[in-house]
Amino acid sequence: METKIDRLLSEPLVVVNVGLNKFAKSLEEQGVDVIQVDWVPPAGGDKGMMDLLDELL
């Protein structure tokens, strides 16, 4: 049966780029369907608070 990895290799890439903008830009230059996320640490980067948020949402 075809897995998601098999489909990754056989179908066009559709990318969510989280972080460095230049990676999204180079994918775009290669004709890839990509969206850029300018990631910001949630909860001020407090990891305990981030875990709590994850549980609540």
Partner 1 sequence: MPIGYVIRKNQYYDSVFLMTVNSRILKVKGIQQTAVLMGSPANKQLLADIGIQTPNIDAAQANDLIVAVIADSMQIVNQVLGNLDVWLNAIQEETPVSQLHTLEDGLAIKTNANLAVISIPGEYAAREARKALEAGLNVFIFSGNVSIEDELELKRRANQNELLVMGPDCGTSLIGGIGIGFTNAIRRGDIGAIGAAGTGLQEFTTQVHNLGFGISHAIGTGSHDLSDQIGGLTTLAALDALEGDVKTKVVTIISKPPGATSLERLLAKIASCRKPVIGCFLGVDPEIVSRRMNLQPAHTIDEAVGLAIKMSGKTSPTREGLSAVEVKMLSDEKAGWSPEQKYLRGILAGGTFCYQSQQIMRGKGITVYSNNPLVPKNKLNNPDKSFQHTLVDMGDEFFMVGKPHPMIDGTMRRLRILAESHDPQVAVLYLDFILGYNASMDPVGELVDAIEEAKSVYKQRGGSLTVVASICGTDADPQDLTFQVNMLRDAGVLVYDSNAQATAACCWLLGKR
Shorter beta-carbon distance to partner 1: residue 44 or 56: 44
Q: Closest approach of Cβ 15 to partner 1, in Å? A: 5
For residue 33, give every residue at least 6 positions away whose Cβ sits within 8 Å of its Cβ, in sequence order, or none.
Answer: 12, 13, 14, 15
Would you tell me which residues interact with partner 1 (CB under 8 A)? 3-24, 26-27, 29-30, 32-33, 35-42, 44-47, 50, 54
CA–CA dist 11, 40 (Å, integer): 30
Shorter beta-carbon distance to partner 1: residue 16 or 56: 16
Structure tokens at 17: 């780029």
